[in-house]
Amino acid sequence: MIFKTPAIRLSIALALLIVNLLIVADQIGLIPDASESALELRKGLSESLALQFASAAEKGELNTIRNTLRAVVERNKDIRSAAIRTDNGNLIALVGEHLAHWKPPVDGKSTPTHVHVPVYRNDEKWATVEIRFAPFWSGNTGIVLASSFVELLIFIGLSSFICYFLVIKRTLRELDPTAVIPKRVQKAFDALHEGVLILDKDEQIVMANHSFAALFGKSPETMLGLKGSELGWLNCKTSEQVRQLPWLRVLQDGREHIGASLSLLDNQGRKIKLAVNVTVLTDNAGSSRGTLLTFDDITQLEEKNFELNNMLEKLQSANDEIQVKSQELETLANRDPLTLCLNRRSLAQYFDELFTQAKADGGHLSCMMLDIDFFKSVNDRFGHATGDQVIKAVADVLKTCTRETDLVGRYGGEEFCVVLPTLALDTAVKIAERIRQAIEKSSCSGVKITASLGVAAIESNANTPDELINQADKALYAAKKSGRNRVIIWGQDSDAVADVESGPETQEPVVQPGQSTPMDTDQAQLQRRVVELEGLLEKRTLEIEHYEMYDLKTGLPTRSLFEDRIAHEIARAKRKNYLVAVLSLTIDTIKRIHETIGRKVAGQLVKACGHRLNVVIRENIDTVAVFDNVKGMSTVSLINEMEFGILLTDIQQVDHVTWVMKRLLDSFDKPFTINGHEIYTSAYFGVSIFPHDGQTVEALYSSATNACSYAQKLNGNDRYLFASEDLNNKAANQLKIENSLHEAIENDELQLHYQPKIDSATQQIAGFEALLRWQSGRLGFVPPDKFIPVAEQAGLIDRIGDWVIYTACRQLRSWMDSGLAVKPIAVNISGVQLRQQNLASRIAHILDEFNIDRSLLEIELTESSLITTDDKPYAVLNQIKDMGIRVTMDDFGTGYSSLSYLRKIPLSCLKIDRSFISDLNKNENADKLVASIVSMAHELGLDVVAEGVEEKHQADHLVALGCEYLQGYYFSRPVPHDEVVDMLQKQPMALAS
């Protein structure tokens, strides 16, 4: 229909708008009222008749009056009827149906249809002319059209419609996007498989081909005029992401953009990935008029690439496995499986190459042969498993004492061959002596061993590698004949060669200088044999004692040594007033492994468990931090194949045992990999504490094993039990706190309250202390003294500490932005945080982020946080002080008060603990202590803050002592941040209610 044309619709709408504006203008009086003008005309006519009738009345011409009135009514279509009425109501003249339709005005005033005018005769009112006019508006259309105002509206409406229609039609023709792109060009673009889009300078679409419109399930015409950035691109929500759209970047820098990637959801909800190329469209003058975009659907290509990458990764993984297997096969072919040294075949191959090169270059080359002394007796006494361990230990010594370029091979049994390229004989001898001494000092599974070595060099006129090895082997034989545990050099003395080649009738070989020379007589040989046997007896005695104390397979202390150490630590704890914890650990998985996979794997699992326990106990930073004496703090022992015993010493609080035990339990959540088997274990702990659960070794160990057995029967989630029920509840509560703390920051459960510090001289607020509060969704309100130690031991204190500093600085910035005169805020720092070397830089970063002056942040720390064996905390505090941040020692007098710490710490202020303040004026010693602390602080140039001020007499006493700042409930409780504003506006401080 014709009304569907945009030009007609817009023209009608604008014409109606103009007509409505005229009507509104008429209603508010901006257009003159035609009825008032007509009323004035009617009044004028009536008054004119009244004047004529007054003149005729004075002359007594009543007929003239009647005739005139009749003529006026008949000639004027607007006058319906008329009459002349005297004051007493008599009608002098009457024309038309006047009596039936005349309505006298109520207020005596004329109306547009009923006009009455008085007639005077001889200056006295004689009668009244009554004229009834037709209404201005009647119900028929002809009268409406006859109205001047309606005619005006019709004229303006029609004329504005015609004008608007012509203008809009021309404008739309000029602005029609389809006119920008000829139809033949549109059809050419529609034939393309890739999407094509043309945008103007305002990124509005002036052309879209069918391929692009189909992505959105629309026709090209419906997309005209839309903005390119408003088409629903994925990951394009923020203003910064919008600015990175390729066509906007091209419009900004004027350079084409190739290979951009965008994603969107098509009309079926599938994710489509498009490759976008953008170029600039310019006019003849070279000015930018818009952009041309092409879109390639690369969704399937991406999927294929993804599949291809997966295939490549699998191929790479398979290739890596092949490489590993190849290396394993090469190792099996070239290496001894026990020691991973070169086997005899590969040693000969590499040795031949080095020998040939040395002969050709005239360089040095040395060879040594090594044999383990009395190795047969090791196998006979301790078994072949121990013999294998001895051979591996000797191989490790050889690898340690030689270079990577040297050849170390197992020549057979307990015999080794070492080839030293580029080394002369004297250097080779030094290396051989170093190897001999290292083997003599080492101990393998408690077995003391020695070795004999023979050394030869290419300078001894050896013509082949086999000949050089034979010379070194003969020197080794001479070393074994001459008493063992020594180094013999081939070719240095002709007697040595003669002795080896001729037998026992010749002289003994020459030995390395520094070794004793063998005696030639039988008596000397016998005496040397006796000494050798005595040494062997002593060695065997030590080995027996060692195996009574240490397990042969794992090297861990046995039960006898474990109980001996418990007794020693009980006696020591009584003197030092420390706690001792005995932990019994049972791993029932070991039994199942023994029954299913075999004894060998079970033994290896026991050894792996012992190693993991030692690693956690000795190397975990969080664990070590809870003990004073790190060196003697723990012992891991093997009680039997399924049970371990753990001894923890120098414990200050029972809580610390919980943290250690949790770390141990967590370590067993990881599987063990043994001989290709991935084994998960179930560990159960029982814990007894000296002196709470026993005073003797038997009582403590029995309590721990009973608790462990009961924990195993319960088979609960905790997997541990204390011998004391109270300690069990306490440990469980601590673990609940730790688990909830992990979610506290994410769930916005932490908040800061602020308690003011009052300047004692002015009674004005001098600053605030930020106090951490935790309202847990699971546990309710948790006091700081309950969760802060947990956070320290769980490794969460750094994160929470950063949150406190960040929140306090953010609040400072908020107050500053609102125009408040802010005061410094003091935050508390944990001793654990002070061990972090980057603490000062983290604080500086937060201050810079909020543009906070350094003087508006203060650091408070306790004395106990500085008790450490190193100076790291002092270095961190010096960095903080150098930044211009004040450092305050909190709770002074309650920790390890030592004046040496005051000398080391870069303090600005001391805070007297509340326990001293509460006894003021009640305890004479407390009064003296507080006075001494204040005096000492002033002598050191430090300010003094008294916390815990709750009564007026305390405040007065502290002011008299010269204490600069007061803090406590007497002035205010800690309040949320929104109450601080009112507090700052009510200074000086009123007493807290």
Q: Which positions are catalytic?
A: 414
Handedness of CA 958, 964, 965, 971 (dihedral sign): positive
Classified as helix, coil or strand, 831 is: helix
E strands present in 434-533:
443-444, 447-448, 451-457, 487-489
Cα separation, 135 vs 358, whole angstroms = 139
E strands, 554-698, are 579-587, 634-638, 643-651, 672-674, 677-679, 683-690
DSSP code, position 990: P
Query: Between the CA of residue 562 and those of 170, 545, 588, 637, 751, what are the distances in Å?
Result: 104, 15, 21, 6, 48
DSSP conformation letters of 454-470? EEEEGGGT--SHHHHHH
Per the DSSP assignment, residues forming a β-bridge with 198 are 207, 292
d(CA 341, CA 344): 9
All residues at 6 or more sequence positions from 451 whose CB lies less than 8 Å from its CB, including other chains: 370, 371, 372, 373, 394, 435, 436, 439, 440, 485
Please tell me whether residue 889 adopts helix, strand or coil conformation: strand
Q: Is 901 helix (H, G, I), strand (E, B) or coil?
A: helix
Q: Specify whether the CB–CB gap between 590 and 613 falls below 8 A.
A: no
Backbone angles phi, psi at 630, to 5 degrees: -70, -35
Q: Tell me which residue of 881, 947, 957, 869 sits closest to 910, measured CA to CA.
A: 947
Three-state SS sequence of 203-224: CEEEEECHHHHHHCCCCCHHHC
Amino acid at 921: N
Q: Given its phi and psi angles, is residue 962 left (phi above 0), alpha (psi -120 to 50 degrees) or beta? A: left
Q: How many residues are recorded in the chain? A: 993
Main-chain phi, psi angles of 182, to 5 degrees: -60, 155
What letter does residue 787 receive in the DSSP assignment?
H
- Choose among 781, 770, 785: nearest CA to 744: 781
430 DSSP β-pair partners:
none
- Phi, psi angles (nearest 5°) of residue 348: -65, -35
Query: How is 690-739 classified by DSSP, letter by letter?
Result: ETTS-SSHHHHHHHHHHHHHHHHHHT-SS-EEESSHHHHHHHHHHHHHHH
Q: Determine the Cα–Cα distance for residues 708 and 730; give it in Å rounded to an integer.
A: 17
Write out the two tokens for 217. Answer: 């399930």
Distance in angstroms between the alpha carbons of the first and the last residue of the chain: 81
**Residue 12: CB partners within 8 Å, gap ≥ 6?**
3, 161
> Could you say which DSSP state residue 245 is in?
S
Q: Which string of DSSP letters, residue by residue, matches 118-158?
A: EEEETTEEEEEEEEEEPPSS-SSHHHHHHSHHHHHHHHHHH
Q: Are strands 487-489 and 451-457 parallel, antiparallel or unpaired?
A: parallel
Q: What residues are paired with 690 via a beta bridge?
A: 580
* Cα(624)–Cα(56) distance, integer angstroms: 134
